[in-house]
A and B are shown apart, each in its own frame.
Chain A
Amino acid sequence: MSEAAEQPRIERGAWPGVAWAMRRDLRLALRSKAELGVQLLFYAVIVTLFPLGVGADPALLRALGPGVLWVAALLASLLSLPRLFAADFADGTLEQIALSPYPLPALISGKILAHWLTTGVPLVVLSPLLALQFGLDSSGLVALAAGLLLGTPTLSLLGAIGAALTLGLRAGGALLALLILPLYVPILIFGAGTVEAMRAGLGTGGELSVLGAALLAAAIGAPLASAAAVRIALD
């Protein structure tokens, strides 16, 4: 009997690939909840360090607040990024993922989505609470949360490129930070700028649109670049 006739239909579509990766990564993340908690704690600690460093003058803190919260979000994001590919790389799963009939960018998108759901979303939820330390009023809190909601997925997407490029390298985390932080600068500027605009009474439409556009561009480009980087790392 010819195996060509025997071979059953194989799923190759992009969306099933995204779904497989997201479901698996979410399940894995929920079974090691300790890691997620540490990252949120890290975010809270960094935010708390700033007033300790610059003094508790309310006017100063109000001015610093959005910037501090955003920088802390960037750093917390960096902390969690190596986890995206490192475990799979070490146990051989990443190789199987790259050899899957599903498109690699789709599988990576699923992983990034799961990463954002487990690291970005808790950050967005926690940030208004921490922002109270900096005297933001309610409209400021909304602007901050909206900015983070649009910005954190982009941080995960761009960070995935860095995580894939630095897979298995000794310098690992620090190198990842050096590579990715320049790319984070526009997100930081417009994210913190969202709150500034709200404060100045200008309305946040412009900044949020830019963040949205950045998210769209990253959602298309980052999985492709990450896939290329993963294949390079597996070679």
Chain B
Amino acid sequence: MINWFRFASPASFFPVAGHLARWFAVLAVPLAAAGLWLGLVVAPTDAQQGDAYRIIFIHVPAAWMSMFIYLIMAGWCAVSLTLNARLSAMMAQALAPTGALFTVIALWTGALWGKPAWGTYWAWDARMTSELILLFLYLGYMALRHAIDDVRRADRASAVLALVGAVNVPIIYFSVQWWNTLHQGATVSLTAAPKMASIMLIALMLVTFAAWFYAIAVAMVRVRAIILERERRTSWAGPLAGAAR
């Protein structure tokens, strides 16, 4: 049995993170290439939306990842609060910028899709509005971390915030959906993606996995930097941190 707790110390996780970063980066590239080729080149043109719909091969994986990463981040926050574990807090800190990036990509590509498909960049539909609020939740987490000087307090306060946010995400989503049906009626809906041919589904899956592996790789790289920054006073990290500068 592997003693997983051995990796709970930043010092022993540091090299592991390096290996994981390399592996997942290497895996992400072919997946992304394959998925994007299938989606952008091979998949048939849509009867109603022409080629503009192809942006969903970036939009949908980005949106899924933005929500998935928030859940994982909140999970790490829960672990860090209950087990008082520093490395878990660092993982959450490492994930947040990537999650925010995916949210921005989802919003951006959603707007780019909206214009050719329905004539407007922003239609205040339920999913996009919830996505925007999710971006605020990410930014709030990062802003709170940034505003607190003491690292330990920053870890714990932002963890509480992330958990409160995670609990509220479904509530916010359903209330925005309700609001949308109340005010917009049955007009445009960006959820009405073209019917999925199986090749499109495969392409979506491939790009989603690529995004997921990319996120892991980037998070590993970032957590290594965070570890070095925090542990720079120790004997093992000092020289590495100095060299990294």
Direct contact of A and B (CB under 8 A): yes
- Give the interface of A toward B (CB within 8 A): 161, 165-166, 169-171, 175, 178-179, 181-183, 185-186, 189-190, 193, 196, 210, 214, 221, 225, 228-229, 232-233, 235
Asked if B175 CB lies within 8 Å of chain A CBs, one says yes
Return B112 CB to nearest CB of chain A, in Å: 24
Contacts of A169 in B (CB 8 A): 147-148
Looking at B14-22, B42-50, B135-143, B190-198, the stretch in contact with chain A turns out to be: B135-143
Return A232 CB to nearest CB of chain B, in Å: 4
Contacts of A225 in B (CB 8 A): 160, 163-164
Return B99 CB to nearest CB of chain A, in Å: 15
What are 23 inter-chain pairs, A to B, with CB distance below 8 A?
A165-B144, A165-B157, A166-B144, A166-B147, A169-B147, A175-B143, A178-B140, A182-B137, A182-B168, A183-B168, A185-B175, A190-B178, A193-B178, A193-B182, A196-B182, A214-B171, A225-B160, A228-B160, A229-B160, A232-B156, A233-B153, A233-B157, A235-B153
Contacts of A181 in B (CB 8 A): 136
Asked if B172 CB lies within 8 Å of chain A CBs, one says yes
Asked if B152 CB lies within 8 Å of chain A CBs, one says yes
Nearest 10 Cβ contacts at the A-B interface: A186-B175, A232-B156, A189-B179, A179-B140, A189-B175, A171-B147, A169-B147, A182-B136, A178-B140, A182-B133
Contacts of B137 in A (CB 8 A): 182
Q: Which residue of A lies closest to B152 (CB)?
A: A235
Known contacts A171-B147, A175-B144; decide if A186 and B171 are in contact (CB<8 Å). Answer: yes
Q: Is the interface of A mostly helix, strand, loop or mixed?
A: helix
Return A179 CB to nearest CB of chain B, in Å: 5
Measured CA separation A232–B156 after assembly (Å): 7
Measured CA separation A232–B136 after assembly (Å): 23
Contacts of A186 in B (CB 8 A): 168, 171-172, 175
Asked if B200 CB lies within 8 Å of chain A CBs, one says no
Measured CA separation A178–B136 after assembly (Å): 7
User: Taking each of B157, B164, B167, which has the highest tally of chain A beta carbons within 10 Å of its own beta carbon?
Assistant: B164
The contact of A165 among B139, B161, B167, B176, by CB within 8 Å, is: B161
User: Is A232 within 8 A of B143, CB to CB?
Assistant: no
User: Is B153 within 8 A of A232, CB to CB?
Assistant: yes
Measured CA separation A233–B139 after assembly (Å): 20
Asked if B35 CB lies within 8 Å of chain A CBs, one says no
Contacts of A229 in B (CB 8 A): 157, 160
Asked if B165 CB lies within 8 Å of chain A CBs, one says yes
